[in-house]
Structure 1
């Protein structure tokens, strides 16, 4: 089985490569640049990589025709909410037009299986802290979510009109080893790792820690992506989540305990997002019924593994 992964050098992409390799897949991927961080380059060693902007339709078609994958995992996207807010035009170009280009390339190839990674941020948040389900109405509240919701429409239309075996997944907040410090848990993890290595004062700077999110280990996440593509129904959408909301404060407290160091927590108002939802949590009942998938890696283990990876990475750069 051969798979093409867009966004292969990203957080989830690297973990998806490990997951698929362990199952005997032949892999190839699309990157923006061949200059990759050492850990990423090591993880992707032996995987044929093609440099391409997914907004470049002709180049993308040529890559798909050359590689002729059985499965396409579309992970490439602008996924930072603050960046998307500052650059909505670029976000829509990459997340919508890039998806349109890849769908056309896939349709021209024939009928490969196609996975589109969306987000639970496309939903209208239900009252009373109810879990988000695939039947929850959509009401994207930011440019990133709006771009993903629009791209979903393109994927569904492709499934209906061309018979493309396309499946959509909506993950919650994925965490784990290798996450960028552009995201809250990745940022906290890196700060604590720097403190442990005595390259930073023992002060952890955070935003609003009362916010609650449904945190999912990225390794559980990519396992769900694979199962959704293999066993999900074409044109269907599946939430990928743990089903439980946890506060950022709980994450910070766990990281402090894992560090075994005395760390002061200080609120940085620059990190506080206005209009940020107080709580987001989803139901994974639909994907469980269809594929048998459920989250397995405990929250504490995700943080411990992420912290260990951050310490290892930073130790290497300090030599």
Structure 2
């Protein structure tokens, strides 16, 4: 009798966040059956409500789902989040509970991808940051991500964990507390007055659809212990992003500086090298920023 191959199962934490739905669609296109975790609400066949701080409940869920791969996206992603305790609980303790539950499975997943952040590097120089650049966090969000990375090392001998360090990424559905989403939203609503913080900074912006595709590529060829930047390799100033939105939307903004949007310990330039990513994936062409912003303005 011929054995029918089973569809592999991918577990995605943070399934209802900004990145989660894009990640789920990408993995489904790659042939996975996706099961998501969310913090609260109702559970169903494809999504389970469980708090990552509930270690026992999390272990029960993983034992039932039996994931072949895990993509860990859940956590607090806003650098300016007001509740410091929640940042550490979610990003550090939640990650440890997930990895501990995965390590206790009778059959370990073939790949565990843990999303960290490029903010672990701290302020950047004019050189592109590589995975070997020193970590120099100087806000609580970044410190929590460094700690989470060290937590992954506790399980390195039991789980094939890959850590990704995404730089800034954008797309439809991102919270309006993020810079590009806020500017695009103003353009869509015809609101000319923009209240912003420091615009004399540079960021490497990538499209969320490119991000999740890179995640899927990396999940499909696990390399335990790897740390990988996810970025385009190009940085742009925030002022130039505003100019691009103005050009594509036909809007002309009236910009007001507002101290409430100026962060302490602002990173002036966050720009990375994607050479390691391209080597692992065999090359990947990131969408131009113009294309992504046009997509966001079209809203589809």
TM-score by length of 2: 0.92
| Distance in structure 2 (CA, Å) of the matches to 1:212 and 1:51 | 38
CA deviations on 1:128-186 (whole Å, 9 max, x unpaired) are: x11110100111111111111111111122122x2x11110000001112111121111
2:118 corresponds in structure 1 to 120
Contact 1:214 1:281 in 2 (8 A): yes
Contact 2:124 2:267 in 1 (8 A): no
2:212 corresponds in structure 1 to 222
- Displacement of 1:124 in angstroms is 4.2
1:27 corresponds in structure 2 to 34
What is the SS of the residue equivalent to 1:28? strand
What is the SS of the residue equivalent to 2:155? helix
| Distance in structure 1 (CA, Å) of the matches to 2:285 and 2:230 | 9
- Give the RMSD, CA atoms, in angstroms: 1.6
- For residues 162-241 of structure 1, the aligned pairs below 5 Å read 162=158, 164-195=159-190, 200=191, 202-241=192-231
| Distance in structure 2 (CA, Å) of the matches to 1:11 and 1:101 | 22
- Displacement of 1:19 in angstroms is 1.0
2:54 corresponds in structure 1 to 56
Q: Does 1:307 align with 2:300?
A: no
| Distance in structure 1 (CA, Å) of the matches to 2:255 and 2:52 | 40
2:5 corresponds in structure 1 to none
Contact 1:159 1:234 in 2 (8 A): yes
2:151 corresponds in structure 1 to 154
- Displacement of 1:74 in angstroms is 0.4
The equivalent position to 1:77 in structure 2, one of 48, 54, 75, is 75
Contact 2:172 2:296 in 1 (8 A): yes
What is the SS of the residue equivalent to 1:255? helix
TM-score by length of 1: 0.87
1:43 corresponds in structure 2 to none
Contact 1:6 1:76 in 2 (8 A): yes
The equivalent position to 2:20 in structure 1, one of 4, 9, 13, is 13
What is the SS of the residue equivalent to 2:169? strand
What is the SS of the residue equivalent to 1:81? coil
2:132 corresponds in structure 1 to 135
1:42 corresponds in structure 2 to none
What is the SS of the residue equivalent to 1:227? helix
What is the SS of the residue equivalent to 2:156? helix
What is the SS of the residue equivalent to 2:134? coil
| Distance in structure 1 (CA, Å) of the matches to 2:168 and 2:133 | 18
- Displacement of 1:47 in angstroms is 6.7
What is the SS of the residue equivalent to 2:263? coil
In structure 2, relative to structure 1, the CA distance for the partners of 1:230 and 1:288 (3 Å cut) is same
| Distance in structure 2 (CA, Å) of the matches to 1:279 and 1:261 | 27
Q: Which structure shows the higher helix fraction?
A: 1
Q: Does 1:103 align with 2:84?
A: no
Contact 1:15 1:219 in 2 (8 A): yes
| Distance in structure 1 (CA, Å) of the matches to 2:85 and 2:177 | 20
Contact 1:124 1:136 in 2 (8 A): no
Q: Where does the alignment leave 5 or more consecutive residues of structure 1 unmatched?
A: 36-45, 313-319
| Distance in structure 2 (CA, Å) of the matches to 1:24 and 1:232 | 16
| Distance in structure 2 (CA, Å) of the matches to 1:265 and 1:47 | 47
